[in-house]
């Protein structure tokens, strides 16, 4: 009874954001992009690009975790394969929604297929992520319906892993190839994306599965505690690596003499950057390396939530870091730092993408039986 | 009252723009243009401001209608460019006094909103010890254009005549070119097109960048529709000081409408430079340094 009430409340909550999102989409296409977006040529990429990066990196991260079992044969992780794949799929869909709504003229998208520019990182990124969507859908269907030969499953799993790595590093190159904006951090960002994608994926898997376990079994089922302990250690290791990258990124930026790096000096002083580093990485790292915290249900859930939210802020900081310093030197009237805060409608679209993801997850959990193991609570 | 002012300003700009044909790159354009000489004089005189600051009177029938020009190219021809040409621009920083006529004529011709500028006039200062100067900044039509490389659908492309153009019929509005351009040369059409009714029914061409399409990217196009008619871009024609030279690299010649120079001589003798060359973009806009200035730097100057 209590669960039913909670479920109704949850659907109602999602419904509010869905309705707001639909209203914003209608507003975007009837009243024009200037009524929705920040509409400033000096900051062409806004919250929705950050939101896209956030979702697609979460997607690749979740599916890379699934490949621990599917590609590398660590059978301990078999129980989370289906759920991880599903999270990968719905996060990808959420990412596409953010990107699709960010485009000024999505009706011209057919030129993407009939007039491809193979030199463009965005083209390759799109190609990899679209292929990934297809492969992940097939794989999920195979697992759901328990069909397909082992050989085909293996080939698809390996292809998916290659595509995941290709997609997220190509996404890094979208930013990294921009020579005029060194604060996107060139090739550094691609490696950073790989590690931060993995923690994004694990945090999403923890977040979604732990809440379900809490509601269904009042905690992690006994048969899964060893797996979650292993995953927590992997989580800790990759949060540590991501933190190390973040610290070096700050130090490289602060030691650089180029004026563009003023953006970083500015950024490290802001509250959102501090949340990214302290609350989004340091605190969860501490939780995950101290066994007394790591082994608890709430420790895991808290670390997952902090990393999930912290990475949301990180993607925004990353997209802004490359844009808030004017790239045109010696221009006297330019501001030293361009200010930007997302409009309420940009927030609404980002929340719309997240809501779609949460809504699809709710449906998946209800109708697709995301458990792939026999749960034992003893 | 405000509306009237706006109207008269539009009218003024339109006639100034039309007069530019007759006054800047030469009154000969008026007298030589076919189709206009045959018209009898109406007796209806119109006052025009020439770019050297004089007010002249011409008969209304002597004004040349822009639409009577050779049509701008569309489709494949707009992608190929004008054969055997390689366009180049030279901007003389010693002459610019921020009159902003280039900005306004460009805005008018390209259906831009007042806040949108394909050519910007920036206030620059190289070091604290050197004097500031005005710096007109169009698109540099780079030979190694980053914007062309990053566009996923080839909406931005490089032509054989050196021009980098945008096909708004193809642009998806991802804004990657805006982020990638080291010169911040691009604008996004966030809002509903300005003066929409005036451009209604005109066939879109990447050579004119009009009619503007909301949700796409725009930028300076070097006015190839005018180049097809051997005319200077709007900015060069409108500039009262002859700051902007335009020409052909293959012919080694540039002109601002008053003077014609050998490009190579200008580059060598006046130590012309290209902006931010370390990006390796190979811009096709050269700057003559702000030395031996004709006007002292005046922040209030805007006329």
Delineate the domains of chain A, giving CATH numbers in brackets: 14-367 (1.20.1630.10)
CB contact under 8 A, B146 and A179: yes
Of the residues B68, B84, B100, which one is the last residue of a structural domain? B68
B178 close contact with A: CB closer than 8 A: yes
Enclosing domain of residue B92: 75-288
Which of B153, B186, B279 has the CB atom closest to A111's CB atom?
B153
Residues 6 or more apart whose CB falls under 8 angstroms from that of A225 comprise: none
Spatial contact of B88 and B217, defined as CB atoms under 8 Å apart: no
Which of B125, B178, B279 has the CB atom closest to A330's CB atom?
B125
Set of chain A residues whose Cβ sits within 8 Å of the Cβ of B146: 178-180
Residue of A nearest to B217 (CA): A104
**How far is it, in rounded angstroms, from Cα B182 to Cα B274?**
13
**Are residues B220 and B94 part of one domain?**
yes
Q: Provide the domain count of chain B.
A: 2
3-state secondary structure of B47: strand
Closest residue by Cα to residue B111 from B194, B13, B9: B194
Classify residue B92 as left (phi > 0), alpha (psi -120 to 50) or beta: beta
Instruction: Tell me whether residue B173 is in a domain.
Output: yes
Encode pLDDT of A146-198 as tens digits.
Answer: 888 889 999 999 999 999 999 999 999 999 999 889 999 988 899 999 999 99
CB contact under 8 A, B192 and A32: yes
**How far is it, in rounded angstroms, from Cα A315 to Cα A199?**
13
Q: Per-residue pLDDT for A378 more than 60?
A: no
pLDDT in tens, chain B (303 residues): 344 444 443 443 344 333 333 333 333 333 333 334 456 788 888 888 765 667 888 888 777 665 555 788 888 889 999 999 999 999 999 999 999 999 999 999 999 999 999 999 999 988 888 889 999 999 999 999 999 999 999 999 999 999 999 999 999 999 999 999 999 999 999 999 999 988 988 999 999 999 999 999 999 999 999 999 989 999 999 999 999 999 999 999 999 999 999 999 999 999 999 999 889 999 999 999 999 887 778 776 554
CA dihedral over B147, B148, B153, B156, signed as positive or negative:
positive
Host H or E run for residue B158? strand B156-158
Instruction: Tell me whether residue B54 is in a domain.
Output: yes
Q: What is the pLDDT of residue B16?
A: 38
Classify residue A320 as left (phi > 0), alpha (psi -120 to 50) or beta: alpha
B132 close contact with A: CB closer than 8 A: yes
Of the residues B68, B83, B109, which one is the last residue of a structural domain? B68
Q: What is the pLDDT of residue B292?
A: 85
Looking at residue B91, what DSSP letter applies? E
Q: What is the pLDDT of residue A248?
A: 92
Interface test with B, best of A39, A104, A107, A124 (most B CBs within 10 A): A104
Q: Per-residue pLDDT for A20 more than 70?
A: yes
Instruction: Tell me whether residue B153 is in a domain.
Output: yes
Set of chain A residues whose Cβ sits within 8 Å of the Cβ of B152: 112, 116-117, 120, 122-123, 126
B240 close contact with A: CB closer than 8 A: no
Residue predicted with more confidence, A5 or B188: B188
As a residue count, chain A comes to 378
Q: What is the pLDDT of residue B38?
A: 58
Instruction: Tell me whether residue B294 is in a domain.
Output: no
Instruction: Tell me whether residue B35 is in a domain.
Output: yes
**Are residues B172 and B58 part of one domain?**
no
CA B18 and chain centroid, separation: 14
CA dihedral over A140, A142, A146, A152, signed as positive or negative:
negative
User: At B80, which CATH number?
Assistant: 3.30.70.20
Instruction: Tell me whether residue B298 is in a domain.
Output: no
**Are residues B110 and B259 part of one domain?**
yes
CB contact under 8 A, B172 and A108: yes
**How far is it, in rounded angstroms, from Cα B10 to Cα B108?**
9
**How far is it, in rounded angstroms, from Cα A123 to Cα A117?**
7
CA A191 and chain centroid, separation: 15
Average pLDDT, chain A: 92
Residue predicted with more confidence, A354 or B34: A354
Cis amide bond preceding B211, omega within 30: yes
Which of A33, A122, A178 has the CB atom closest to B174's CB atom?
A122
**Are residues B44 and B97 part of one domain?**
no
Question: Which token pair is B15?
Answer: 């006639």
Helices (H), chain B: 2-23, 28-32, 75-80, 101-109, 146-150, 176-180, 224-227, 234-238, 263-269
Q: What is the mean pLDDT of residues A71-77?
A: 91
CB contact under 8 A, B153 and A112: yes
**How far is it, in rounded angstroms, from Cα A236 to Cα B235?**
60
Per-residue pLDDT band for A228 (boundaries 50, 70, 90) equals: very high
What is the distance in angstroms between the Cα of A118 and the nearest Cα belonging to chain B?
7
What is the distance in angstroms between the Cα of B59 and the nearest Cα belonging to chain A?
42
């Amino acid at each position: 009874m209590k669960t039913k009430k909670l479920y109704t409340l949850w659907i109602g909550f999602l419904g509010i954001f869905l309705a707001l999102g639909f209203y914003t989409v209608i507003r975007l296409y009837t009243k024009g992009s200037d009524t929705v977006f920040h509409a400033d040529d000096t900051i062409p990429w806004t919250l929705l690009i950050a939101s896209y990066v956030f979702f697609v990196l979460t997607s690749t991260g979740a599916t890379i975790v699934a490949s621990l079992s599917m590609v590398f044969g660590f059978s301990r992780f078999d129980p989370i394969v289906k759920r991880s794949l599903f999270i990968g799929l719905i996060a990808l869909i959420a990412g596409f929604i953010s990107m699709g709504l960010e485009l000024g003229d999505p009706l011209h998208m057919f030129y993407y297929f009939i007039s491809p520019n193979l030199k463009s990182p965005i083209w390759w990124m799109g190609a990899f992520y679209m292929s990934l969507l297809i492969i992940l859908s097939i794989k999920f269907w195979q697992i759901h319906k328990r069909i397909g030969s082992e050989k085909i499953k293996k080939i698809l799993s390996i292809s998916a892993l290659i595509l995941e790595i290709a997609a997220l590093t190509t996404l890094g190159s979208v930013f990294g190839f921009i020579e005029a904006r060194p604060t996107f951090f060139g090739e550094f960002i691609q490696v950073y994306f790989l590690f931060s994608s993995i923690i994004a994926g694990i945090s999403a898997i923890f977040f979604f599965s732990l809440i379900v376990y809490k509601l269904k079994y009042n905690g992690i089922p006994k048969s899964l505690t060893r797996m979650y302990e292993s995953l927590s250690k992997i989580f800790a290791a990759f949060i540590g690596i991501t933190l190390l990258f973040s610290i070096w990124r700050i130090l490289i930026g602060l030691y650089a003499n180029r004026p563009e790096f003023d953006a970083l000096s500015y950024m490290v002083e802001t509250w959102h950057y501090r949340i990214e580093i302290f609350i989004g990485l340091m605190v969860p790292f501490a939780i995950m390396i101290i066994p007394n915290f790591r082994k608890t249900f709430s420790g895991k859930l808290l670390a997952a939530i902090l990393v999930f939210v912290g990475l949301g802020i990180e993607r925004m900081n990353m997209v802004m870091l490359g844009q808030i310093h004017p790239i045109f030197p010696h221009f006297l009237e330019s501001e030293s730092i361009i200010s930007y805060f997302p409009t309420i409608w940009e927030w609404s679209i980002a929340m719309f993408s997240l809501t779609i993801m949460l809504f699809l997850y709710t449906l998946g959990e209800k109708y697709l039986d995301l458990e792939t193991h026999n749960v034992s609570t003893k | 009252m405000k509306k009237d002012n706006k109207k008269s300003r539009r009218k003024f700009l339109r006639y100034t723009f039309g007069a530019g044909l007759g006054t800047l790159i030469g009154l000969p354009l008026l007298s030589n243009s076919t189709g206009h000489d045959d018209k009898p004089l109406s007796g209806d005189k119109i006052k025009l401001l020439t770019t050297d600051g004089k007010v002249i009177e011409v008969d209304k029938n002597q004004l040349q209608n822009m639409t009577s020009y050779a049509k701008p190219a569309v489709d494949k021809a707009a992608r190929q460019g004008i054969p055997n040409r390689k366009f180049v621009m030279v901007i003389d920083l010693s002459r610019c006094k921020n009159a902003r006529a280039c900005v306004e004529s460009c805005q008018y011709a390209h259906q831009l909103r007042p806040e949108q500028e394909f050519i910007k006039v920036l206030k620059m200062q190289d070091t604290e010890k050197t004097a500031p100067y005005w710096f007109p900044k169009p698109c540099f039509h780079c030979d190694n254009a980053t914007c062309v490389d990053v566009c996923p659908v080839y909406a931005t492309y490089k032509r054989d005549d050196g021009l980098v153009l945008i096909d708004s019929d193809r642009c998806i509005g991802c804004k990657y070119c805006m982020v990638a351009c080291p010169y911040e040369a691009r604008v996004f059409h966030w809002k509903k097109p300005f003066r929409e009714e005036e451009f209604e029914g005109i066939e879109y061409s990447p050579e004119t960048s009009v009619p503007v399409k909301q949700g796409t990217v725009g930028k300076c196009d070097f006015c190839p529709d005018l180049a097809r008619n051997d005319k200077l871009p709007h900015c060069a024609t409108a500039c009262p000081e002859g700051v902007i030279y335009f020409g052909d690299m293959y012919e080694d010649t540039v002109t601002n409408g008053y003077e014609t120079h050998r490009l190579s001589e200008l580059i060598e003798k006046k130590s012309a430079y290209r902006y931010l060359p370390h990006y390796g973009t190979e811009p096709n806009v050269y700057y003559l340094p702000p030395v031996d200035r004709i006007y002292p730097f005046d922040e209030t100057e805007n006329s």
